[in-house]
Homo-oligomer: A and B are copies of this chain.
Amino acid sequence: MRAEIIAVGTELLMGQIANTNAQFLSKGLADLGIGVYFHTVVGDNAGRIKESLALAKSRADLIICTGGLGPTQDDITKDVLAEVLGRPLVIHQPSMDKMTELFAKRNMPMVESNARQALMLEGSDPLANETGLAVGVALTVDGTRYVLLPGPPSEMKPMFELQVKPWLEANVEGLEALHSTMLKFAGIGESSLEHQLIDLIDAQTDPTIAPYAKEGEVAIRLTTRAGSAQEAARKLKPLEDEIRRRLGGFIYAAEDISLEEFLLRELASRGQTLAVAESCTGGQLSDLLTAVPGSSNAFAGGVISYTNQVKHRVLGIPLNELEGEGAPGAVSAETAIRMAEAVRTLCGADYGLSVTGVAGPSESEGKPVGLVYVGIAGGGEAAAVELQAWGNRSTIKLRASKSALYQLWERLKS
């Protein structure tokens, strides 16, 4: 079964909104075992919508359109499909009655054009709209399945879950759902990870292996089609085992959670706490940690020692170590260690984690942009690691924050 998604709406082509509907539908179809091969976005233009429908019909068995079901003159998706398929539009009486009742309730005159929202193609299955007025449409013509959904996500999503899924399950033979396992990595780059799995990736058939990188994190998704979760597990396990055999040391979780959430869980389970001292990351490390609900169970807080004055006044680092002839300086392993130890003591936490570096755009202390030191105290001797982050100011901040989390993980493992 090959599916395509056509989003209709000039506002998408103007960049006023992103096509999040296509993402939602693609996920939903994948879960049903239906592969999506193309997304298309087209404006509110009859000729171009026709062109897109004809193209999709030539290569897909299932065509889902979103948008253009509303009351305005721009909303022409149903009209165009009706013309393409040579089917007249007819009133869906229940939708019409619902609308009439609604306007009556609100003592509002029902503008004529609203009736358009109750139209459906003759011989199609109506898809009830729980959260709006426009009725959806599903029908099969010459073996091609067409589904028309409203554009507003608040209407489209429930209609897909409550109406389209059952309709597909009833109308499409032998759907076999996709099952996948997510492996999350830290401390290894995407290219080096792929390099060490290249033979598996090249040889992949079923299960499939998809590596991908979000800022500062790398993940691999193993995916297979199966009739049951048990069968899926049986198919996925050998591949996961082989990947763990090669790279197990970099895998922090076998589920889609961030490194910070994983670490907070780990600390909480040990009844331990973390305090951070941030210089170049300027609060981002703490922000990542406190984005996790319940972070206060393991995150005590910390100090943003952005200037040397604060490093000195709040963390008690001697000024002559931060400035002047022969001093290690603010961006140094020595200062990173001092910061980690000081914040740990100050906050009364089990671990102190620190970051100091040069986020840019310009160098500092004659040290290059991207040079970062991560310090860690607690659970062993205090230590610091030097790393060279790259990118612009915001990516350097993020990579430095993620690297600090990685160092904490290393410490927790040991």
A residues near B, CB below 8 A?
Answer: 7, 10-20, 22-30, 35-43, 48, 52, 55, 70-73, 102, 105-106, 108-109, 111, 113-114, 130-132, 152, 154, 158, 189-192, 194-195, 198, 201-202, 210-213, 215, 221, 275-276, 278, 281-287, 289-291, 293, 295-296, 299-307, 309-310, 313-314, 346-348, 359-361, 387-388, 390-395, 397
Q: Is the CB of B41 within 8 A of A13?
A: no
What would 13 more interface pairs be, CB under 8 Å, given A158-B392, A282-B289, A304-B304? A13-B36, A15-B29, A16-B212, A17-B23, A19-B22, A38-B52, A72-B190, A291-B393, A293-B361, A293-B393, A295-B306, A301-B310, A309-B348
Contact B28 A15 (CB under 8 A): yes
B300 touches A309 (CB 8 A): yes
Q: Would you give the shortest CB distance from A354 to chain B, in whole angstroms? A: 13
Partner of A296 from B11, B195, B306 at Cβ < 8 Å: B306
- Does A286 contact B291, Cβ atoms closer than 8 Å? no
* CB nearest neighbor in B for A347: B310
| Interface residues of chain A: helix, strand, loop or mixed (majority) | mixed
Contact A392/B346 with A191-B111, A387-B106 known, Cβ cut-off 8 Å: no
Docked CA distance A24–B155 (Å): 25
Partner of A73, one of B11, B26, B201: B201
**27 A–B contacts, CB within 8 A, in A order:** A13-B38, A14-B27, A15-B23, A16-B27, A18-B22, A19-B19, A22-B41, A38-B40, A38-B42, A105-B388, A108-B192, A113-B194, A131-B392, A152-B215, A283-B284, A283-B286, A286-B286, A286-B304, A287-B397, A290-B304, A290-B306, A296-B306, A300-B310, A301-B310, A309-B348, A313-B348, A314-B346
Cβ distance A316 to chain B, nearest Cβ, rounded Å: 12
Q: A392 to B301, alpha carbons, bound, how many Å?
A: 21
A212 CB contacts on chain B under 8 angstroms: 11, 16
A15 & B19 in contact (Cβ 8 Å cutoff) = no
The verdict on A287 contacting B290 (CB below 8 Å), with A102-B390, A210-B10 known, is no
Contact A395 B131 (CB under 8 A): yes
A191 neighbours in B (Cβ, 8 Å): 71-72, 111, 113-114
Residues of B with C-beta under 8 A to A24: 15
A283 and B290 within 8 A (CB): yes
